[in-house]
Amino acid sequence: MWQHPGHDREVPAGTPLKEGFSLTIHPVIVDLWRERCGIAHLGSLTLVPSHPLDDGVLAVRDFEPLAQAVTEPAMWDYLTNGAGDQRSLSENIAAWQRPEFVPRVLVPADDADTAVSIFNRRWPHPIALAPTAFQSSYHPEGEAGSLRGALASGATYIQSTMSSVPLNELGVIAREGNEDGRGHWWFQTYLNPDRGVTRALVESAVAAGAEAVVLTVDSPVLAARDADRRNNRHLMPDDGVQAHQRILNPVIDPLASWEDIDWLREVSGVPVVVKGVLHPDDAVRAVDHGAAAVVVSNHGARNLDTVVPTAQVLPHVVHAVAGRAHVLVDGGIRRGTDIVRALALGADAVLIGRPYVWALASHGAAGVQHCVEILRTELSMAMLLLGAPSRAELTAELFGLHL
């Protein structure tokens, strides 16, 4: 039974809409609802159209328990945990709640324009999928499922170097829906101590259709992820940093330096995106060395605990870069309002990590697609509720500030 606040009687669920709302909603509107939305009874009112994934997934967080239920516990730890005491993990998320919005009203608009332009290519919305490793541990489709979900939802997919699906296979999938196969995915790399290895990887990614190369620079050593260390004791004798270095050094050169960005730009022939920058001076330096974009990222709080949350440092990086390169951001993006904040603080686009891997784990490619669509819908809703229906209106004035 449902008690309307304006009624002195109870209305049972399933009551014809006209009857239930007769005192408050004009019958003409009730007819429109019935004809256009198929809403005929109380109890069937919904703001979001029903989706084939009928698992009660309305927000991206809803994928999390579904993913956990089907994921091997050690890989679940690898996916969800942050480093150390995981303070930055919660701070990354909390920092997107500030500053509070001060919406504007009576801005005529019936739709939001979420499109942005990155490297002169139009993205229908500013959401990209961050590089995440070992995806076939979460779903048999692995990275291929993520790419398919990205293609179906208009998101750019960033393929991790630690991938279980060959690059040429990704290229074939990307080309299926697009004649030149470009514009849909980027390739993430580290700097291998043998630059010949990095060069060969990058060349095969570009040949397969990767439109940009993302150089991750925030992982010179393995981090103190306690659960992983516990779970992998048998694989990795934990005798301190030396042991960690033995694992990582064949993959990531701790002696990499700024000149390597110039080198990567030269050998790749595509835009280089430097991922893992937090200090504004480092962002400027990356751009000075030829980066076409930087990603403000603390690796999803997986590397250094108690590091600054990305939302906090983003406007400073944007200010320092001063329009010379794109600025993207990731870490803790879970809602459309987080994306609005990121854009209002000057980001050109955002990356999501864990949410789409949860969706991949629970529903494969269809889940990844749904995950992006949820965020895009929330983004549109937020823009309209803020009275800021286009990208140009997403500025610090949304917080009542003039940055």
Which residues are catalytic, by number?
Answer: 299
Q: Are strands 116-118 and 121-123 parallel, antiparallel or unpaired?
A: antiparallel
* Residue 288 C-beta: closest distance to ligand FNR, Å: 22
CB closer to ligand FNR, 156 vs 188: 188
CB closer to ligand FNR, 289 vs 299: 299
Amino acid sitting at position 197: V
* Residue 99 C-beta: closest distance to ligand FNR, Å: 20
The CA-CA-CA angle for residues 111, 113, 114, to 5°, reads: 125
* Residue 63 C-beta: closest distance to ligand FNR, Å: 12
85-90 CB contacts, 8 Å cutoff, 24+ apart: 85/305, 85/306, 86/301, 86/305, 87/305, 87/306, 88/298, 88/301, 88/304, 88/305, 88/306, 88/307, 88/309, 89/300, 89/301, 89/332
Distance set, CA 208 to CA 78, 140, 274, 367 (Å): 29, 22, 21, 25
CB closer to ligand FNR, 132 vs 362: 132
CB closer to ligand FNR, 330 vs 393: 330
The residue ranges that bind ligand FNR (CB under 6 A) are 78-79, 92, 130-133, 160, 162, 188, 216, 275, 297, 299-300, 302, 330-333, 352-354, 357
Q: Please give the residue whose beta carbon sits closest to ligand FNR in the complex.
A: 353
Structure tokens that stand for 267 in this block: 């050998």
CB closer to ligand FNR, 39 vs 251: 251
Cβ neighbours of residue 181 closer than 8 Å, sequence gap 6 or more: 171, 174, 175, 208, 209
CB closer to ligand FNR, 46 vs 97: 97
d(CA 154, CA 369): 9
Cβ neighbours of residue 126 closer than 8 Å, sequence gap 6 or more: 114, 116, 339, 342, 343, 347, 348, 349, 350, 379
**Where do we find the tokens 């060969």?**
200
* Residue 189 C-beta: closest distance to ligand FNR, Å: 9
Cβ neighbours of residue 251 closer than 8 Å, sequence gap 6 or more: 161, 190, 192
Distance set, CA 292 to CA 15, 120, 205, 281, 295 (Å): 59, 12, 18, 16, 10
d(CA 312, CA 92): 9
* Residue 78 C-beta: closest distance to ligand FNR, Å: 6
d(CA 371, CA 373): 5
* Residue 241 C-beta: closest distance to ligand FNR, Å: 20
* Residue 297 C-beta: closest distance to ligand FNR, Å: 5
d(CA 31, CA 265): 61
CB closer to ligand FNR, 357 vs 398: 357
